[in-house]
Structure 1
């Protein structure tokens, strides 16, 4: 039997935010079963925690979606860091991930991590294609700040700015169009698409990755990090973003993202909602 925890991440209350299953001691799990375990939970991500390769660090963390292992994701880092502190680890830690070591700090149920991985731009998908993917008209894609771009910090997303909040609420992803996009613009995350709208000082966002078993994600820290880095890149100014995601699917989430010369910092809260035992044979 292997114990696991479930945290709701990027929220301060149960049943909001993004669900995360955490195996705080994954050494006894058979490696060939990790993907099947992640698929069994059917959350957007599951983390498996191991002793660090470098003893100066706190832990090594592997992250799986329902269909593949990924090198970096925001809500798994936030949730796993808070779970480790809840288990007695010190509030300052370094987690080893697929993109390298990530320093994290936890204070009063709120975690922050900073990544200095540079922004990469993989492609510039046509606005007409992105509109089809989101079930919108091309006129609802806002090109005033940037055109749609496939970019990320270790995990790429198609990032599209929309004209208004109504357009964001109207998104109905077209899986066939997304498959078309993935074939035209192969990336690390199957044409996963972040749509967003800026409303004053706040950002409203939705993220869709149905080709990876995630019809819609309630909170996506890696996409928030990519968005903050992209806006810093295109504006030339530091970015402090308050991102609200998951509202349209009934799991409201709050992500704080800062991008400056030091890198991108993501901050959020998490709460434990479940714990249990996994029964699995080798």
Structure 2
């Protein structure tokens, strides 16, 4: 059967940067094994399959696959698919709708800026939390990343596991120099963190002021050597930033630059809503650009 697909670059406003995403629009009738095989064929960090929603009030149901397994939730697939569906709906300015993912319902606000580009912001369906704290060895983190012990940590931040549906080892680094010097190997990463989380997200303050933070993400267990932009990791980081920055009441935005070292610069906009002294909502936003489309016969 011929099934239409579109490839977008996400967390960017220009083609050939950001994080590539494949979206299969005609996914009805495919089972999970077929979806997994198609995702391996595209060989991108994630591939989305668009299905009819369980609730007719919602826009669509999404299933999201890496090259080797299905995810309950992911950021750049949500942003990219939301922008694509709004474009296909003929939206000229902005719209709101809900996408269904395995983690739950995901409310999205979309702005369209042209026939092939737009941006989307969604509310993370599950509040992020620190799953483990104070249990990760700084020496193990340094060794896994090919860094020195002194490169790990800043301003009281220490390595933790955090999750907003997908767990990440979140490792703070002392400088952008350390971020650039990372030389991980799949074996070292899996050996150090395989039992804790599937992915390793490293972050530091952006010393040049281009953003608030700089980040890189490695996911050996997912078959991803490095990811150019990771919305689900930024969502997990929200709990870490809430504990470390102690923001006051109201809405706070952190711009996270990722993918620079890969030549795929990306910008993830992370929003934290604080109410009653607690983290009450997390949002993820970014741009998306359609770069190609076609038909897959599967």
Q: TM-score range by the shorter chain?
A: over 0.9
* Residue aligned with 2:53, SS: coil
Residue of structure 2 in register with 1:47 after alignment: 48
Asked if the contact 1:229–1:264 (Cα under 8 Å) also holds between the matched residues in 2, the reply is: no
Unpaired stretches in structure 2, ≥5 consecutive residues: 113-117, 275-279
Distance 2:268 2:281 in 1: 16
Distance in 1 between the 2:35 and 2:170 partners? 30
Asked if structure 2 preserves the Cα contact closer than 8 Å seen for 1:129 and 1:177, the reply is: no
**Do the aligned residues in 1 keep the contact of 2:75 with 2:231 (CA within 8 Å)?**
yes
Q: Distance in 2 between matches of 1:145 and 1:86?
A: 44
Give distance in 1, aligned partners of 2:32 and 2:233. Answer: 28
How far the C-alpha of 1:144 sits from its partner, in A, is 3.0
Aligned to 1:255: 268
Could you say what secondary structure the match of 1:39 adopts?
Answer: helix
**Of residues 150, 169, 179 in structure 2, which corresponds to 1:139?**
150
CA deviations over 1:122-162 (Å, ceiling 9, x no partner): 33321111112211111100153321011110001111111
Distance 2:189 2:71 in 1: 19
Q: 1:157: which partner in 2?
A: 168
Partner of 2:130: 121
- 258-267 vs 61-70, which deviates more? 258-267
Structure 1 segment 239-254 matched on structure 2, within 5 A:
239-254=252-267
TM-score normalised per structure 2:
0.88
Q: Secondary structure at the match of 1:193?
A: strand
Q: Distance in 2 between matches of 1:23 and 1:165?
A: 37
Alignment of 1:178-197 (within 5 A): 178-183=189-194, 185-187=195-197, 190=198, 192-197=199-204
- Match 1:215 to one of 208, 213, 225: 225
Q: Secondary structure at the match of 2:73?
A: coil
Q: Deviations over 1:206-256 (max 9, x none)?
A: 111122111010000111111123211333316421111111010000111
How far apart are residue 30 of structure 1 and its match? 4.0
Give the superposition deviation at 1:28: 3.5
86-95 vs 253-262, which deviates more?
86-95
**Partner SS state of residue 166, structure 1:** helix
Q: Is the 8 A contact 2:15 2:289 kept in 1?
A: yes
1:39 deviates by 1.1
> For the residues of structure 1 that align with 2:175 and 2:140, how far apart are their CA atoms?
19
TM-score scaled to structure 1, two decimals?
0.93
* Pairwise CA RMSD: 1.6
Q: 1:95 maps to which residue?
A: 99
- Is residue 112 of structure 1 aligned with residue 108 of structure 2? no
**141, 148, 169: which is aligned to 2:180?**
169
Structure 2 Cα separation of the partners of residues 86 and 132 of structure 1: 46
Is 1:80 paired with 2:81? Answer: yes
What SS does structure 1 have at the residue aligned with 2:141? helix
Q: Counterparts of 1:8-19 in structure 2 under 5 Å?
A: 8-19=9-20
Flag structure 1 segments of 5+ consecutive residues without an equivalent.
none
Is 1:276 the counterpart of 2:297? The answer is no
